[in-house]
Structure 1
Amino acid sequence: MTVASLVLLAVAAVAPALSLIPRLPVWIGAAVTAIALGIAALTAAATDPAQGFALGATLTLTTLVAITGGGPAVLVAFRIARRQPDAGPTPTPPPGPLRGGRVIGVLERGAVAASILAGWPEGIAIIMAVKGLARYPELREPQASEQFIIGTSTSVLWAAAACGVGHALIT
């Protein structure tokens, strides 16, 4: 079952690339990633603790899932928040008031995953505080605070969910 969990984590780490395929809606990559992560969670619950190579693979794949899977999840959350139907294949939201969100999101999810996997969940508060302070001047623009809260919350929750699966595999 450990191998099955690792394969599913690998699928969840690679599935967000489906969002890059032209004419394919963003939600498909997010859905495949979420389903693979969910099944990985179920198989992880039925395994013995990972050791050796499997332990290293679990930590690596968990971090990759946290980093890569959050992007499509955030885009879907923005689309739901805007209450707009899926208009088609465009994987990028219309430009918002906050620039650099994709890169910051990747760094944020990586830091959250590292913090949780290191056994220091308090680090999430520091990560969010630093991000909030860095974005503070921009949050006065219309819709910026909404974009910030939705993006950050979705990103952190996704990273925590991925780390939960990894934690189930290593304990």
Structure 2
Amino acid sequence: MTPHVPYPPLFVFAMIGPIVYWAIVLILVLASVCSIAFTLRRPRRVFVYVAAGTLAAAVAMAAFPSPQAPTIVGALLGIACLVLAVAGGGPAVQLVLALASRGSVAGEHGGIVVPGSDSASSPGAPHEVLRGGTTIGLLERLATAGAIMAGFPSAIAVLVAIKGVGRFSELDAAEARERFIIGTLVSLIWACACAAVFHLAIR
């Protein structure tokens, strides 16, 4: 007589499989968060590379066709992704800006120092532009990730428009325009990638 099997193997796999799968995604996101935490304490490029690599792996796994993440795992994943979006974008932006604009002079308030211009022929005194970029970046990534996770990605267009209007008067110098465009794009891409992991998990 064949013994009764209360839970067939396929049924058990169907129940446990999604939990294990999304737990791995959560571990990847947490690994990225830890790497960012290390680089905040002791800035090193290798930690940013590791954070970006683990985030890319998490996005790839989340994009792969799979069952929806369990509620608990999805909630933890949402918190981790939001933290990573806000905290991780800063080091990523700083790294890319350091690679792209090596000749810029850093200001005392988070911006860059550019030569002034009193007229077309006589340069004025140097002054700092794009001040408060770190704080603005944190709020920008929080709003971007929050909009995507809440299901309102169109809010990003409003966010970019507000930022552009607010910075318009500081974009006379080519260095300022370059830094503004690169910093904004990197910040938005990072926040969107983090939010995409959560969005794909609950799709």
TM-score (norm 2): 0.72
Match of 2:116 in 1: none
Larger Rg: 2
Which residues of structure 2 form unaligned runs of 5+? 1-20, 113-128
Aligned residues: 161
Deviation at 1:16, TM superposition (A): 1.3
Q: Which has the higher strand share?
A: 2
| Matched residue, 2:54 | 36
1:158 aligns with 2:160: no
> 2:131 aligned with 1:99, yes or no?
yes
8 A contact 1:66–1:158 mirrored in 2: yes
Deviations 1:98-155 (A, max 9, x none): 1111111010001000111111111000011111111122222452111111111110
Instruction: Tell me the distance in 2 between the aligned counterparts of 1:157 and 1:78.
Output: 14
- Aligned partner (choices 9, 13, 18) of residue 33 of structure 2: 13
Q: Of 51, 63, 86, which residue of structure 2 is paired with 1:67?
A: 86
Please give the root-mean-square deviation of Cα atoms over the aligned residues, in Å.
Answer: 1.9
Distance 1:170 1:79 in 2: 36
Secondary structure of the 1:55 match is: helix
Query: In the TM superposition, what is the alpha-carbon distance from 1:46 to its structure 2 partner?
Result: 5.7
Percentage identity across paired residues of the two chains: 35
Q: In structure 2, what is the Cα distance between the partners aligned to 1:138 and 1:162?
A: 30
Cα 1:155–1:46 shift into 2, 3 Å: same
Structure (1 or 2) with the greater helix fraction: 1
Q: Distance in 2 between matches of 1:126 and 1:80?
A: 29
**1-10 vs 161-170, which deviates more?**
161-170
- Corresponding residue for 1:169? 201
- Unaligned residue ranges in structure 1 (runs of 5+): 85-92
The answer to whether residue 95 in structure 2 is matched with residue 76 in structure 1 is: yes
